[in-house]
Chains A and B, each alone.
Chain A
């Protein structure tokens, strides 16, 4: 029997390439998402998905998008970063460097914009509950639970800062336009002191830092690949090595990464779509890419987020919001090989699959991703369709037609013979076939037969 449920869906608008396709649900104007450049996505404690765009903030309830702008209290319409803290507050970082905090039903504005401070590049929370806001030209800010903001001096501040991750015990990994710094927060002095500039980091912008497992982090650089960083907060010693150095250019213009709940690492770029990895640490291996060639609407992905239910959301640059339909659902099409886009029935066992597509029977390989052979269908009436197919334990293939009744193949090969049911037309319209203990059961529009 089939071990996995595999849906064969031949999509009328599918692409020419054969093999696995990915399927996404796109949210745009129709659902009320009027701005298509998505910079950040997060989910609040009530399950609403928040979407940051260049022209406002949206909240999605599963059906509709609600729109928030400066009129509703946001500091600025350009939303660069959304972050939910451990207490459930939503922090909205803006292009202007200001931050809007959703507290209850109102936005509280902090770090109001000046002309020079630059964009909010990151927001995170440390293990003591303080919020850290990183502003490109302004540097680091620390915010306490009363929303009091204090600047934190950083000894390598001449470079624009891009990412911050809390390592615990007042240690931080700070990414900049060109460097990666292991740093320690000196509370009394109100400064972030660089302990080490991480050697081996190649020099392009740090676009993401996120934990793989406790104490172990993946560092994503914009142009030079991905790296692994492990830190012992007691000894303050670290290990750093390259996972993938982007020698082939596939990892150009990366925007970040996410490790999903199933253990997949997804890197997203504004050039080559999504690159998927599997494994851990140095054994992380590229599994494939999701691009316009196999289902992605555009290769410009700006943000990715996994919600509570494990759904992956993709913020596209100019193409709205996408939701990856189901990680277990794979879509196949066979292009011109089948001569038809309509799949009527599918059956199979551990050895392989049979699919009735158009007016022919196709034998597929075990994985379902390629066609092994094809055969003409039996049937009395031209244009008749196969409603159901069943591969019995003895290897015989049973076909039930809409009008032509029931057919069965020999134990080997695919020469079909008719199985008489009745002279009645409705009884020759077969809806379903199954089997148990050597018996075949057939459901028709008038009777069933065993």
Chain B
């Protein structure tokens, strides 16, 4: 799926993010995030079937380092290899996945970098580090650390009030699923969050839990120009249901995709939902266990512009606000 996005609209989105600010405290900058309750991100090898739950064999995440943080920092990947117990094997493990870190001009601001499909100049910016992983005992269920990096190696965004780094996980070869996690850390050998940092993506490809009682959620940010949104989900595979919560939505159910297909849902956005995060909940099918389900989710505004999912929801998790009508009592 290729989506054209105008620069004009991007500008509005940036301004929206800025207007709210990234009030994240010291919550860990992991992807998947702490609040999301998602076990792993997933990227399949380039020779895989898209029906296994990855539409493009590529995942792009952005790491936002606040301007105030000037010490070295690291981007860590858990279980970067494709092999062992965690990853999804199709036949024998034969998959190569390359993780590449980009910074400097264009890493985030280039239109192609934010496109949900890896086409054009999506590998924009300076390549800061890259590592290719296959099956490896050394990295199985271990953290691999990229860096250190310095904020100035990233792309400065005045509107985001920080420096943006991009990590692309690309399935180069093979047909297995690589399951992994990220953490942006102040330390090389342990996960220690950067105060005020955040992590975001425009297309979220992840593994759902195998626990039937599990509920996962992700948080698109609705900027001040959003009038309506389109939520797209891919390859849901009858794994329960998806619903939407916001300050104005109490849990609206959306249409679900079948095997190897996209499903679109259009929702209007009310004024009080702007400049807030929305919560998209993934509630497992508790009558039938669907194992190893991978899903892709995109949210676009009325112009087809993709909205960012922040692992630490901007403004916090949304809570539906009841509207209480006051009715005048007629005097007799």
Contacts and interface: CB of A to CB of B under 8 A. Distances in A.
Interface of A: 37, 54-55, 78, 95-96, 113, 115-116, 118-119, 136-137, 160, 177-178, 203-205, 222-223, 249, 270-271, 300, 317-318
A317 B72 CA distance: 8
A116 B121 contact: yes
A116 B106 contact: yes
Given A96-B105, A115-B110, 9 more contacts: A54-B150, A54-B153, A115-B105, A115-B106, A116-B124, A118-B125, A118-B126, A137-B126, A178-B132
Interface in B55-97: 71-72
B104 A95 contact: yes
A300 B126 contact: no
A118 B150 CA distance: 17
Contacts of B131: 204, 223
B148 A55 contact: no
Contacts of A203: 132
Contacts of B126: 95, 118-119, 136-137
A158 B131 CA distance: 17
A317 B148 contact: yes
Nearest to B127: A160
B291 interface: no
B148 A300 contact: yes
Contacts of B147: 270
Nearest to B151: A54
B188 interface: yes
B19 interface: no
A37 B152 contact: yes
A335 to B, nearest CB: 25
A54 B124 contact: no
Contacts of A113: 105
Interface in B147-161: 147-148, 150, 152-153
Contact of B150 (A37, A115, A137, A177): A37
8 contacts: A78-B152, A95-B126, A95-B153, A96-B104, A115-B105, A118-B127, A178-B132, A249-B138
A219 B145 CA distance: 23
B130 interface: yes
Nearest to A299: B188
Contact of B72 (A118, A178, A204, A300): A300
Contact of B152 (A54, A204, A270): A54
Given A223-B131, A318-B150, A119 B104 contact: yes
Nearest to A116: B106
Contacts of A119: 104, 126
Nearest to A53: B152
Contacts of B150: 37, 54, 317-318
Interface in B128-149: 129-132, 138, 145, 147-148
A77 to B, nearest CB: 9
Contacts of A317: 72, 148, 150
Contact of A205 (B110, B130, B188): B130
Interface core residue of B106, B129, B148, B153 (most chain A CB under 10 Å): B148
Which 10 A/B pairs are nearest by Cβ-Cβ distance? A54-B152, A119-B126, A37-B150, A318-B72, A160-B127, A118-B126, A115-B106, A115-B105, A300-B148, A54-B150
B104 A118 contact: yes
Interface core residue of A160, A203, A249 (most chain B CB under 10 Å): A160
Nearest to B121: A116
A113 B105 CA distance: 10
Contacts of A37: 72, 150, 152
A177 B127 contact: yes
A115 B131 CA distance: 25
Contacts of B127: 118, 136, 160, 177
A318 B148 contact: yes
Nearest to A205: B130
Contacts of B145: 271
A160 B188 CA distance: 26
Contacts of B138: 249
Interface in B105-127: 105-106, 110, 121, 124-127
A203 B98 CA distance: 12
Contacts of A118: 104, 125-127
Contacts of A300: 72, 148
Nearest to B104: A95
Contacts of A78: 152
B174 to A, nearest CB: 16
A445 B145 CA distance: 62
Contacts of B152: 37, 54-55, 78, 95
Nearest to B146: A253
A270 B132 contact: no
Contacts of B188: 271
A177 B130 contact: yes
Contacts of A204: 131
Nearest to B138: A249
Contacts of B110: 115
Nearest to B128: A119
A322 to B, nearest CB: 16
A270 B106 contact: no
A317 B149 CA distance: 9
A318 B106 contact: no
A136 B145 CA distance: 23
Contact of A318 (B71, B124, B130): B71
Nearest to A37: B150
A177 B71 CA distance: 26
Contacts of B153: 54, 95
A249 to B, nearest CB: 8
